Amino acid sequence: MHTTALGGYGLLRVEGADARAFLHAQLTVDVEQLAADRARRAGWCSAKGRLLATFLLVPADGGFLLQLSRDLVAPVAKRLAMFVLRAKVKVSDVTESWPQHGIWGDGAAARLEALGLRAPEEDLRVAQGNGRIAVRLSAERFLVLGNAGLAADASEQDWMLADIRAGLPTVTLATQDQLVPQMANFELIGGVDFRKGCYPGQEIVARAQYRGAVKRRLYRLRSTAPLAPGQDLLSDDLPGQASGTVVNAAAGEALAVLTIASVEAKAPIRASAGGDALEVLPLPYAR
């Protein structure tokens, strides 16, 4: 079993009598029907349909916690609050009051039991108790929110690598307002609901889905050189122009948005002109 502190992530709390309706109108998923023991991945888009943030949305004590990249906490909180208007909703940064840890590997479920939390038996199921919240992300991999007295014995890079291998992107400041949800495979991981009502950018997101307008998609890569979010990538079939963007990177692997045609043509993808070709790796879900 391994434990790590998740300092690269922040938390927003959205609460108030109108919190559920407010988030339903803003996010790419159906919040109205979200059960108290279920978490969801969700996106928040600009009017142009590009992701301003990606969230893990977790119901908590009559409100909601939204996990997101820590460098987006302040700008997203400020911008989200602008849409509150007369609604009975409060948006606040609770990053410091809700520590975050990741627990994974053999014995992770037993460790949760020791914290007074029954390990959820389904992915994205939520358990609450003793002022703590646990979300099952996959078998023997859990997010723990709240003071739990956990000592880290692994790097946050290990946790991020697991997200990369699962094909779960996180928008950061470096990639904010650049990707429509389908570019980040967000509809494939349950982060877009095409049956719900309107939200910012909804028409553009729907058009991209039903007219096949997306020419770039999220791929998993292996690199011998360090990669960073927001970094441009090059393809040999498109000389002189960027053909991709790194979304997340950790421990020699990355998620990157690449031109579909270049990948299908097996054109070498490089981090720099003349650099080594990056290896395209499989994702655990089908396109």
Confidence bin at 73 (pLDDT 50/70/90): very high
CATH topology of domain 181-281: Elongation Factor Tu (Ef-tu); domain 3 (2.40.30)
Would residue 79 be called left, alpha or beta, if left means φ above 0 and alpha means ψ between -120 and 50 degrees?
alpha
- pLDDT value at position 210? 86
Q: Where exactly are the structural domains of the chain? A: 2-165, 181-281
Residue 108 CB coordination number (10 Å): 21
Q: Is the pLDDT of residue 84 over 90?
A: yes
pLDDT at residue 139 is higher than 80: yes
Q: Give 33-59 pLDDT, tens digit per residue.
A: 999 999 999 999 999 999 999 999 999
State pLDDT tens for residues 174-225.
999 999 999 999 999 999 999 988 999 999 999 988 887 789 999 999 999 9
pLDDT (0 to 100) of residue 116 = 87
- Residue 230, both tokens: 């927001």
Give the sign of the dihedral formed by CA 62, CA 68, CA 74, CA 77.
negative
pLDDT in tens, 89-117: 999 999 999 999 999 999 999 988 888 88
Full-model pTM: 0.95
Q: Are domains 2-165 and 181-281 of this chain identical in fold?
A: no
| Of the candidates 22, 25, 6, 20, the residue with the CA atom closest to the CA atom of residue 170 | 6
Please tell us whether the domain made up of 2-165 is placed in CATH 3.30.1360.120: yes
Please compute the mean of the pLDDT values over residues 125-152 and round it to a whole number: 92
Q: Three-state DSSP class for 175?
A: coil
